[in-house]
Chains A and B, each alone.
Chain A
Amino acid sequence: MANEIFMPKLSSTMEEGVILDWFKEEGDEIETGEPIFEIMTDKINIEVESYHDGILLKKYFHKDDTVPVNHVIGFIGEQGEEVPDTPPASDEESSADESSSPEQETAAPAQEPETEVSTEKVRATPAARAAAREKNVSLHNVSGSGPKGRIHKADVLSSGSQGKSTPLAEKMASHHGIDTKNVEGTGAGGKVMKNDINALLAESSENRPENVTESLRGVRKVTAERMADSSSTIPHVTMDFEVDMEQVIRLREALKSSVEKATGQKLSYNEIFVLAVSKALQRHPDINITYDKETITYHNEVNVGVAVAVEENLYVPVLKNTERKSLSMLADELKPLIFNTREGRIDSASMQGGTFTISNLGMFAIDSFTPIINKPQGAILGISRMKEVPVVKEGEVKVSSVTTFSLSFDHRVINGAPAAAFCTTLKNLLEEPYELLV
């Protein structure tokens, strides 16, 4: 009996995954533990390994297909074993009450495997049929833009050269009367990408590059949904406070070499911020909370998430139990965590369990901002750039390095006074960092 390969459910919120790449072809031998394909979830990219030894008998989905979790993607078994031509419904799907599963139906794969030839007649114009003949494209694989799904010539042209150019590039090319056959592609295997068309258009000054549209997927889609959810359901209050950074700068200079000696990592302000925030949260347990389904949870441990931008995506890897960690331990952990996040090598477990989040934009020319709370956490700290400003100390004007910190908190569960008290504690810890030793 052949074994099914499922779309794994990698987190409690994952509903579907996108197949990024296949590493095996039908007929290939696979050993247990070998990666079969790579998927992208709403949080991460991950290689899916085989649980069985055998031959890859069937691939029901292709690269870039979106597949619901627990849906059968393929089969591994012995040479010659019979497997169904279409993916069997997953247990969840087949047992689900029909009336309650419209979402799953729409989530099911829209694209039939290419090998299946439909005998249904296709509604297409003569020009579309002629174009399909010429380009050797099956009209069954083309979606029509006309009334009742009628396929027009443009539909064939934009779908015809799949594989050699992206649909977006094809669409742009056809608008500008460019034949993608004549465009040198920079994508994988010479695939023509939108940038290739833009580059071509930029050469002639009359044409400006096309506006790019794309549908949100994966991490960006989840980020968009969560931002909107948080922003619209949580009454945010943001408090700004300025911190004189002179002592923090001195602290970092003093400890840099010893941290580097101990860990091989350079001490950065981030570790000092995480440490100070962790100490402050320990003193203010009413800030180190999560609020979910009408329940407030006061966390004994402090798990600090650090927002990391990777190209267009936003990730928040989490440092666990920071209240128990030293600066060198933090540096030892945070540096690789951020590096792995940027490399796209982070697993979803590393992004869960946060009780508080820090978003540091100090490398940009930002003086203050209002961060959006990372639900279900109660608060988030935004950190802006450090800059030299005149400050009055003991009746004298001095130049000092100052950074604005911005705490956004959920006013349903955190009141202004405790939030302000937390901010004050944090400010004091940073301005008198010896306090961190206490």
Chain B
Amino acid sequence: MREITYLEAVREALSQEMRENEDVFMLGEDIGVYGGAFGVSRGMLEEFGSERIRNTPISEAAISGTAVGAALTGMRPVLELQFSDFITIAMDNLVNQAAKIRYMYGGKGSVPMVLRTPSGSGTGAAAQHSQSLEAWVAHVPGLKVVQPSCGSDAKGLLKAAIDDNNPVVFYEHKTLYKTSDHVPEEAYSIPLGKADIKREGTDATIVATAAMVPKALEAASKLAEEGIETEVVDPRTLVPLDKETIVESVKKTGRLLVAHEAVKRGGFGGEIASTIAESEAFDFLDAPIMRLGGAEVPIPYNPNLEKATVPSVEDMIDSVKQMVHYDTWRENHG
């Protein structure tokens, strides 16, 4: 089976969509000859030309404003922000324009745009280029929020995002770009709002997002060596959130750990934990819900400190063991 990288999967989804749909075009800083900050659009200028692969000035406000306007006129713009940290500069266009227009005009206009942007730490890019701010946009009604954890999901979700008639913020984790998995060649769509159970288990559920998903899978396989079967659920999209899959998983396992790279305080993990506490799964909880999130500090430049600010595989293993009340559990399971 063909394996390609996450980065190639994103590029393949964009290219296939642009070949199919004349209205789709890209805009962003240095996405042309240079191929974008991480090389996602490398080679696309040659295929699609500078009309559809548009280099922009260094202004996230201008890029996002242009995209909103183009989308209102019927185009399907895909804009790239070099680092998701700079979404702060695009925030007014995103929050006050893109998210609101369809509601405010009673559905007479819509904003079918996708904001693609690399997020997260792990590359030594320091405090202003390493954040995970997805909770900010997830808070705003009218924006959809996607966080794929592997190439095959990224490809299908990006097609769904471009096909969607609403503004979608599409986060691509920097450290996942180089990971590979089996990605089908033909175009396909993964519906927004459908979580994926990446591994089945019976003793505890880890709901993990983006780069935390491979870590959760590693933790789960190590826990399995000790006999603890952990289910790993990847929501894939924060908005809309597939509550049903998460609730059902927790009903099955009775224990929930939420893990994301974003700072724990005010992070989306709180939303997932609350969802469970309010749901039918409450009566099935057999341990307090636990959250793992980033430390409450700006991401440090020092690589060791950078690593220490985000949850590790060991953190996840420890948390799950704590939840299954491991000492007692081990006695009983011999």
Contact = CB atoms under 8 A, between A and B. Distances in A.
Interaction A to B: yes
Contact of A154 (B282, B285, B332): B332
A130 interface: yes
A127 B332 contact: no
A106 to B, nearest CB: 23
Nearest to B254: A127
A145 B328 contact: yes
B282 A126 contact: yes
A127 B328 contact: no
A126 B332 contact: no
Counting from the closest, the 10 A-B pairs by CB-CB distance are A127-B286, A130-B283, A126-B285, A125-B286, A153-B286, A145-B328, A127-B254, A126-B283, A126-B282, A127-B284
Contact of B286 (A152, A171, A175): A152
B249 to A, nearest CB: 14
A265 B284 CA distance: 67
Contacts of A126: 282-286
Contacts of B330: none
A128 B286 CA distance: 7
A152 B325 contact: yes
Interface string B126-145: 00000000000000000000
A125 B325 CA distance: 12
A146 B325 contact: yes
Contacts of A152: 286-287, 325
Contacts of A171: 332
Given A126-B286, A145-B325, A146-B287, 6 more contacts: A125-B254, A127-B286, A130-B284, A146-B325, A153-B254, A175-B333
Interface string B321-334: 00001001000110
Interface in B267-303: 282-287
Contacts of B325: 145-147, 152
A129 interface: yes
Interface in A110-132: 125-130
Interface residues of A, number: 14
Interface of B: 254, 282-287, 325, 328, 332-333
Nearest to B324: A152
Given A145-B325, A152-B325, A125 B285 contact: yes
A258 B283 CA distance: 78
Interface of A: 125-130, 145-147, 152-154, 171, 175
Contacts of A128: 286
Contacts of A130: 283-284
Contacts of A145: 325, 328
A265 to B, nearest CB: 51
18 contacts: A125-B285, A125-B286, A125-B287, A126-B282, A126-B283, A126-B284, A126-B286, A127-B254, A127-B283, A127-B284, A127-B286, A128-B286, A130-B284, A145-B328, A147-B325, A152-B287, A152-B325, A175-B333
A127 B333 contact: no
A154 B331 CA distance: 13
A171 B331 CA distance: 12
Given A145-B325, A146-B325, A152-B325, A175 B284 contact: no
Contacts of B328: 145-146
Nearest to A130: B283
B252 to A, nearest CB: 12
Contacts of B285: 125-127
Nearest to A152: B286
Nearest to B325: A146
B277 to A, nearest CB: 9
Most chain A C-beta atoms within 10 Å of own C-beta, residue among B283, B284, B286, B328: B286
A153 B282 CA distance: 13
A336 B205 CA distance: 65
Contacts of A147: 325
A125 B254 CA distance: 10
A152 B255 CA distance: 11
A226 to B, nearest CB: 30
A145 B282 CA distance: 20
A129 to B, nearest CB: 7
Contacts of B332: 154, 171, 175
A130 B251 CA distance: 12
Contacts of B287: 125, 146, 152
Contacts of B284: 126-127, 130
Contacts of A175: 332-333
Nearest to B333: A175
A169 to B, nearest CB: 15
Contacts of A154: 332
Nearest to A129: B283
B319 to A, nearest CB: 14
A211 B286 CA distance: 27
B41 to A, nearest CB: 49
Nearest to B288: A125
